[in-house]
C-alpha cells in the first residue's frame, strides 16, 4: 500500500508524480475522428450511436503506430468487427444492470446514454468531489474483477481516463464507457489494472493543485482498495 503517517500521506508520497502521458492518447484519437458519434431518442430511450467511419481502419493503424512510438501498452481496435463486438460486450457487461448496448450493422453500435456527467467535465467545472472519486474507485475495482475471455484473465479498460467515467449524482454511481482502446494481451492483469489507475490519476495532475491532487488521488485509491494493484502502481510512479 501507499505510505501513510498518522493517517496522512507521507512526504515521500507527496512528491510522487506520474511519469507518462496524460490526455495525449485520448486527444490524439479524437483528432482523427475515426468514429462518428450522435445522440437521439428511440422509443423514449436516449441512445448514443457510434459509427466507424469508412477511413477508420487506416487511421487506426496510424494511431497504433503512435502508441508504439510512445511506448504505450495499448492499441486501438482497428478491425471494425472486433471493435463493435468489444464495445457492445464491455458496455453490456459493466452497465447491463440498467442499460443496453447492441450492434446495429456492420459499422454501428447503439448504446443507452448514461445519466450524469464525466468526471473530466466535473473537474473542468470545479465541481469534482471526493464522493465522485470514491464512486470511481469502487467502479474500477468492480470492473477489474470481471473475467475477460479476450485476456484470459481479469478485464481492464485500456483508456480509463476521467472522460470515460460518467458519474450519476442521484445514484452516487460511476460507470465506465468508451471501449475502442485495449491493453496489450501480453501484460499481466495486475499491470493492466495499475495502468488504468495511472491513466485516471494523470488526468488530475494538470488541472488540480498539488495539495488537492494528493488528497483526491488518495481518496480514489483508498476506495479502489486493492493493495497488490496499488503496489504495482507505485512502480509506475517516479520521484522527481
pLDDT digits (tens, 9 = 90+) for 96-118: 999 999 999 989 999 999 999 99
pLDDT digits (tens, 9 = 90+) for 141-156: 999 999 999 999 999 9
Task: Count Cβ atoms within 10 A of the Cβ of residue 160 and give its class: 0-12 exposed, 13-18 middle, 19 or more buried.
Answer: buried
Binned at pLDDT 50, 70 and 90, residue 33 comes out as confident
Q: Does residue 2 fall inside a structural domain?
A: no
pLDDT at 30 over 90: no
pLDDT at 159 over 80: yes
**Residue 15 CA neighbour count, 13 Å, CB half:** 6
Q: Does residue 197 fall inside a structural domain?
A: yes
pLDDT at 56 over 80: no
Binned at pLDDT 50, 70 and 90, residue 25 comes out as low
Taking the model in full, what pTM does it have?
0.85
Q: Does residue 4 fall inside a structural domain?
A: no
CA atoms of 83 and 175, how far apart (whole Å): 20
* Domain that residue 102 falls in: 10-238
CA atoms of 192 and 132, how far apart (whole Å): 23
CATH code at position 188: 1.10.510.10
Instruction: Give me the number of domains the chain comprises.
Output: 1
**Residue 189 CA neighbour count, 13 Å, CB half:** 16
Q: Does residue 1 fall inside a structural domain?
A: no
Amino acid at each position: 500500500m501507499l505510505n501513510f503517517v498518522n493517517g496522512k500521506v507521507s512526504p515521500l508520497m507527496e512528491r510522487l508524480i506520474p511519469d507518462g502521458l496524460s490526455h495525449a492518447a485520448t486527444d490524439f484519437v479524437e483528432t482523427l475522428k475515426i468514429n462518428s458519434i450522435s445522440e437521439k431518442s428511440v422509443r423514449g430511450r436516449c441512445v448514443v450511436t457510434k459509427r466507424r467511419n469508412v477511413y477508420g481502419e487506416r487511421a487506426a493503424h496510424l494511431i497504433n503506430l503512435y502508441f508504439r512510438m510512445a511506448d504505450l501498452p495499448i492499441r486501438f481496435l482497428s478491425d471494425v468487427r472486433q471493435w463493435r463486438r468489444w464495445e457492445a460486450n464491455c458496455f453490456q457487461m459493466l452497465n447491463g444492470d440498467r442499460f443496453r448496448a447492441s450492434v446495429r450493422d456492420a459499422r454501428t453500435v447503439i448504446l443507452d446514454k448514461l445519466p450524469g456527467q464525466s468526471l473530466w467535465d466535473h473537474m473542468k467545472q470545479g465541481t469534482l468531489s471526493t464522493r465522485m472519486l470514491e464512486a470511481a474507485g469502487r467502479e474500477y475495482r468492480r470492473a477489474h474483477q470481471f473475467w475477460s475471455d479476450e485476456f484470459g484473465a481479469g478485464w481492464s479498460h485500456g483508456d480509463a481516463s476521467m472522460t470515460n467515467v460518467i458519474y450519476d449524482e442521484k445514484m452516487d454511481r460511476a460507470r465506465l464507457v468508451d471501449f475502442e482502446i485495449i491493453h496489450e494481451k501480453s501484460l499481466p492483469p495486475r499491470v493492466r489494472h495499475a495502468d488504468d489507475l495511472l491513466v485516471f490519476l494523470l488526468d488530475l495532475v494538470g488541472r488540480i493543485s498539488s495539495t488537492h491532487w494528493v488528497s483526491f488521488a488518495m481518496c480514489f485509491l483508498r476506495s479502489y482498495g486493492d493493495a497488490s494493484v496499488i503496489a504495482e502502481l507505485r512502480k509506475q510512479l517516479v520521484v522527481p
